[in-house]
Structure 1
Amino acid sequence: MLDGLLPLTDPGAVFAVLFLLVLAGPLIAERLRLPAIIGLVLAGMLIGPNVANVLAENTFIDTLGYVGLLYLMFQGGLDLDLDGFKRHRRDSIVFGLATFVSPMVLVTGAAVLMGIDLLAAVIIGSAFASHTLLTYGTVTLYDLSKNRAVTASLGATLIANVAALLVLAVAAAGAAGDSGVLFWSLFTLGLVVYVVVVLVLVPRFTRWFFTGLGQDRRVRLTFLLSGMGVAAVVAGLIGIEPIVGAFLVGLAFNPFVPTGTVIAERVQLLGESVFVPAFLISTGMMLDPRAALDGTTLALAAVLVVAEVVSKLVASEGSGRWMGVTGPERGIMFSLSVGQAAGALAATAVASELDLIGPGEVNAVVLVILASALVAGLSAGRYAPRIEPPDRSDAPLGTRVVVPVANPATVGSLVRVAAQVAAADSGAVVAVNVLPLDARPDQLRAHRDLATLAEKVALGAGSEVTTSVRIDTTPAGGVLHTVVEQQGTALVLGWKGYANAREGFFGSVIDRIVTESPVPVLVCRPGGDDHTGRVVVVLTKDDVGPGSLLGTALAFEVAGRLSRQAEADLVVITDHEEELVRTQMVNLAVDEDDVEIISVEGVLGRLPRLLEPGDVVLTGMPPTASRLGRGARRLARAAADRTVIVAVPH
């Protein structure tokens, strides 16, 4: 009855069936207490050419599936905690080597015992020495992307996949008789040049693009996805596995896609709702249950499954215990490293093309991929809920910089400062408007316009920004609540440069926020310049001493961020001797070689003649509240028309 109707060829019908499976597969799997991954793979098998033949392999499904494969690795690179990786890079190296060597030994040995030739066994071993981050979606669902064990696993992914790629290349070249010096010289040169271009030149080009043409989020999203595709294609052309290229370019884009921002959510939503499900369904369509039921194939698959799972378990348990992480964290390391897809399929295809393995071995490898997905999904579902999300209280200063926006005349200057502070940590700006409970509709519209302006300024500075309009009982309460809810790490407040006797030091609202803020506060009096010429730190006799160390340290940290982002000179103007200031800078871990020190008597009196157009002036919080108010106001008067920032530690 259905002869001639199946497989479906109408594009609309193919699209409808594919996304009905994307919808229904995880829901049915959840009812059966199976991981969503398995639901999608089995759904693909049932409607594929080897079972119901509802859908045949076609360009549309293959393309979406391939993009999903690239996306899995690309997202891993985007979300890698670079600061955590730098602090714990030894974890990634140890786990990467362990999760590569263990499968190479156990899986290769198991394949040889099952009667497979040594060269083919080595290629199969390299297939399972790599891994695909099949369960990374579960990790992000439980907010574990910054967890130490996850960071180690993501770093290990790069190490293991590159090492497996090299083994595959050596074995394939040996089988093809193409292993001369010229071949390896060109391959090594291509790999080195590729890595340098992706990790050094691509970030620079991306920053230039984001601050110029790419100030629209739709353009940025297209840029990121096209970059993923180009990196994969170029990697394939020079003999590198495309998934490695996707992971590397994800690392290159990492600083420009801060976690929790709009662009990050759009990339994640598109991948996890379209690309990854399509990849899992396309993988399921490859399965032929009739061929897989052959006794020899099942026996080989069973042996390879045991060898692969045990090898990854040994690697994760051993590395995790060496790292000192908990049992559930070792479990999540295992779940991230046991899943197979890209590397296994690529290596199997190479071995098949070289006539080293036959259809039975290919089907066995596909069964291992399915089994590894099941094990990965079950282990992730078991261990992820038992891990506490990492504490973000020690996050870098620029991770999420909150800036209240209320005055159209100062929005640009305040957001620009916040963006420069955030850029050093690849962070994001949170621009908030606080309105009273009885706010009128016209006030809401006006403040939304301010939010739009803040967004344009931040995007123009190359940073990501989140905007919100908050209704609260008091302005100070609204700002403080936003800092807590948005997990802010710093706060930039606008200041008019003076306060009368009834308003306190900065003004009643700012004084309350400074007193109660759980994060450092940068009180900013915007100047009349639209560019940064120099960054000037002013140190008076009150600012050099144990009591003011925290404020001075914060002032230098902010000054360093601003000077690097604006490519401006860093200058210190002080009434202390130069040697004393240099000693203080060494104690604060400031690179004194990059700083010009001007020592004069009567700093504030001489300051107007020493400042230049475009200067941004900073000072730390003096040791007492009275000096804080008096000194800040005197500095603001002395630095008329210049941007003044008072750094207040929490």
Structure 2
Amino acid sequence: MFADLFPLTDAGAVFAVLLLLVLVGPMLVRPLRLPDLVGLIALGMVVGPNVLGIVSGQVLIHALGFVGLLYLMFQGGLDLDLEGFVERRRASILFGTVTFVLPMLVVTGVSLAIGVPFLAAVIIGSALTSHTPLSYPTIARYDLARNPAVTASLGATLLATVAALLVLAVASAGAEGNQGVGYWLLFTAGMVLYVGAMLLGVPRFTRWFFRGLGQDREVRLTYLLSGMGLAAVVAGAIGIEPIVGAFLAGLAFNRFVPDGTVIADRVAFLGRSLFIPAFLISTGMMLDPVALVTDPATLTLGVALVAAEVVSKWGASTVSGRWLGFTANERGLMFSLSVGQAAGALAAVVVGQELGLLGTAEVNAIILVIMVTALLAGVSANRHAPQVPPPGTEGRSLGKRVVVPVSNPDTIESLVRVAGQVAAPDSGAVVAVNVLPFDAAPEQVRANRELASRAERAALAVGSEVNTSVRIDASIDGGVLHSVVEQDGTCLVMGWEGQSRRRGSLFGSVIDRCVAISPVPVLVCRPGIDEPTRRVVLVVTSDEVGFGHDRGLVLAAEVVGRLTRQAEVPSLVVTDLPEDELRHRLDHRIRPSEIVTEPTVLRALASRVREGDVVLAVTPPATSRLGRGAHRVAQAARGRTVVVVVPR
């Protein structure tokens, strides 16, 4: 009776079984304090063709599993802390080199000692020197994505995976007889062109697309996923493994998917809930436990490879971690991220089988390594991640989380545009907040939610990601500052009427109180009559560069640099300082297109300001009110957008 029913062939039934396994797998292993991925792999093995045979050779599950493999690498590229990677590139290079060379030597040597032929041993070595960050979801759950050890490990993932796949390509080319110079020249040229197109061309196209056709989140999500698939297909077409293409696609889209935004949550949710579990289940279906038990050669090879891979990866993590000054728990995170095998190992299995170099024994042994290392990766992450404190906000870039209080319908678009330009260089997000008093009527709440929706549309229109919030608080300034803390803000942009005489409104004394106690820098913005930014004008007087005031000038120069880069416009500095002194104080932070030096700065500003200008002024950090100086700059700007920069 059941022989006629199984294996399942109906697509709906197969999909139902898959989702049931995704639901039940984690529930079975959590009481045992084992990682979710262990339950998924084990259930995949049980229902697969080698045990119960409930699901056998299904294209649907294998297709979803392959997408999950791509998704895992894609997510790693999206979440990689690019700033931290650049700052710690030496750590990534060091760990990537050690975690490739040491396992390659150990695993290949062990394989040769057992009697595996040379080319097959090299392929097995390449399979187990790369690594897939299977424990990354656990580490991300503890908010450790920006930890230096995690950043170094993710960077090392790219280096070790690419190096392992190059070794695999050399071994497969040797087996097929493709050893000519022409073959390798074409392969190298294709890889260089592909990587250049992914890391230079794709981000520019994505920025153009998000500002134009991609102003809807559903469209953006579809664009990101299709880009991942297309990058993998093109990579495979030119001889690079698709998983490398997926990782590079994640790097290319990294700056357009800020942490904590709606689009980032949707991408992560789709992978965690379906694609990555499908990949783990499909991996379990490949294991034949009967062959492991009944064939001594398979079991011996599997145990030897597990020992060689685990010991070498642990040694690489320990040596590199100690050299880099990481704690024992951080070294545990490095081990958990580098010990897991999936992507490169499966690629090597497929290539080795196609070439006839790997038989059933080698394949089962490598699948055993994948299962055991997946277990170790999860256990290590669960053990060490809770012991590592999350990185603080100190040293975070200005544009990571730009908080913008919105209440005036006439200025929403202008404020959000400035905030988006500040956030863009850091792939940051705009947080539009609307603060209402406790006694706000339901009609006020609905009206202000509509204002928040307008802010969201305005941010999407300029290519930025945005989160919105309508907050009830005892006071407006308290609500604004509480939002900065709760949203993990790095900068506050506040609207201003251009004067400081009014009291009791969001654009009067409220700003003064926020400026006085804000934990982050404040950009006080008087929106102008022009929408497109055509030039950025920085006003610098001798009052702003006195003792203790250079912080304001440094911050203003950074904001000028962000606005000019994002809008691709020139900059002008109007000052009463000698040009040499000004350049010395700017210290090459910006390279203005023009410097105007005149004793009367405001008169020079009024005579040179023009349509499309954004004017920046500096307020010393000790100032509790905006003061007349900023008010006079706003008057001299003649209706143009004015941003007063107040450092923390």
TM, length-normalised to structure 2: 0.98
Gaps of 5+ in 2: none
For the 8 Å contact 1:399–1:422, the answer to whether it is kept is yes
Question: Which amino acid is the alignment partner of residue 108 of structure 1?
Answer: T
Query: Match of 1:226?
Result: 226
Equivalences for residues 331-480 of structure 1 within 5 A: 331-480=332-481
- State the match for 2:576 in structure 1: 575
SS in 2 for 1:625: coil
| Equivalent residues of 1:203, 1:253 under 8 A apart | yes
1:122 counterpart SS class? helix
C-alpha displacement at 1:176, in angstroms? Answer: 1.2
1:314 partner letter: G
Task: Give the Cα–Cα distance (whole angstroms) in 2 for the partners of residues 623 and 138 of structure 1.
Answer: 41
* Pairing 1:322–2:323 present: yes
Q: Structure 1 residues 198 and 623 mapped into 2: Cα distance closer, same or farther (>3 Å)?
A: closer
SS of the aligned residue for 2:410 comes to helix
Separation in 2, partners of 1:356, 1:220: 43
The structure-2 alpha-carbon separation of the partners of 1:415 and 1:504, relative to structure 1 and needing over 3 Å to count, comes to closer
Q: Which residue of 2 aligns with 1:282?
A: 282
Q: Is residue 130–residue 160 contact of structure 1 (8 Å, CA) maintained in 2?
A: yes
The letter for the 2-side match of 1:96 is G
The CA RMSD over aligned residues, in Å, is 1.4
Contact 2:76 2:250 in 1 (8 A): yes
Tell me the equivalent position of 2:94. 94
Once the two structures are TM-superposed, the CA of residue 496 in structure 1 deviates from its matched residue by 0.5
Residues 504 and 511 of structure 1 are in contact (CA less than 8 Å); yes or no, is this contact kept in structure 2? no
Counterpart of 2:637 in structure 1 is 639
Q: Which amino acid aligns with 1:342?
A: A
Find the counterpart in structure 2 of residue 18 from structure 1: 18
Question: 1:127, 1:344 within 8 Å by CA — same for their partners in 2?
Answer: yes
Q: Who is 1:194 aligned against?
A: 194
Relative to structure 1, is the Cα distance of residues 6 and 621 closer, same or farther in structure 2, using a 3 angstrom cutoff?
same
Q: Which whole-Å deviations, capped at 9, do the CAs of 1:342-389 have from their partners, x for residues lacking one?
A: 211111222222222221111111111111111111111111111111
Which stretch shifts more, 19-28 or 543-552? 543-552
Of 345-354 and 242-251, the range deviating more from structure 2: 345-354
Q: Distance in 1 between matches of 2:600 and 2:162?
A: 61
Matched residue count? 647
Contact 2:602 2:636 (C-alpha < 8 Å) held by counterparts: yes
Percent identity of paired positions between Structure 1 and Structure 2: 63
Q: 1:626/1:478 Cα in 2 relative to 1: closer, same or farther (>3 Å)?
A: closer
For residues 200 and 621 of structure 2, what CA distance do their matches in structure 1 show?
Answer: 43
> Helix, strand or coil: the match of 1:396?
coil
Distance 2:502 2:449 in 1: 33
Q: Deviations over 1:205-229 (max 9, x none)?
A: 0000011100111111111110110
Worse overlay, 494-503 or 561-570: 494-503
CA shift, 1:462, in A, is 0.8
Question: How many angstroms does 1:626 deviate by?
Answer: 7.9
3-state DSSP class of the match of 1:468?
A: strand
The letter for the 2-side match of 1:542 is D
Q: CA shift at 1:41, angstroms? A: 0.3
| Counterpart Cα distance in 2 of 1:339 and 1:102 | 16
Query: In structure 1, what residue type is equivalent to 2:16?
Result: A
Matches within 5 A, 1:556-571: 556-571=557-572
The residue identity in structure 2 corresponding to 1:26 is: P
Taking structure 1 as reference, are residues 572 and 24 closer, same or farther at Cα in structure 2, changes over 3 Å only? same
Amino acid at match of 1:604: L
How far is 1:58 from its partner?
1.4
Task: Pick closer, same or farther for the CA change 1:385–1:304 going to 2, 3 Å.
Answer: same
Cα 1:97–1:502 shift into 2, 3 Å: closer
- In 1, Cα distance between equivalents of 2:111 and 2:336: 23
Residue equivalent to 1:104: 104
Tell me: CA distance 1:195–1:505, structure 2 relative to 1, closer, same or farther (3 Å): closer
Matched-pair contact (CA < 8 Å) for 1:622–1:628: no
Q: 1:626 to 1:475 in 2, by over 3 A?
A: closer
Cα contact 2:65–2:281 (8 A) shared by 1: yes
Following TM superposition, by how much is the alpha carbon of 1:276 offset from its aligned partner in structure 2, in angstroms? 0.3
Matched, 1:619 2:617: yes
Give the alignment of 1:502-541 within 5 angstroms: 507-541=508-542
How far apart are 1:505 and its partner, in Å? 13
Residue 120 of structure 2 is matched in structure 1 by: 120
Q: Structure 1: which 5+ residue stretches go unaligned?
A: none
Shift of the 446–335 alpha-carbon distance from structure 1 to 2, 3 Å rule, reads: same
CA contact (8 A) 2:70 2:243 kept: yes
TM-score by length of 1: 0.98
Contact 2:96 2:155 in 1 (8 A): yes
In structure 2, distance between residues paired with 1:131 and 1:506: 54
Alpha-carbon distance, 1:633 to partner = 1.0
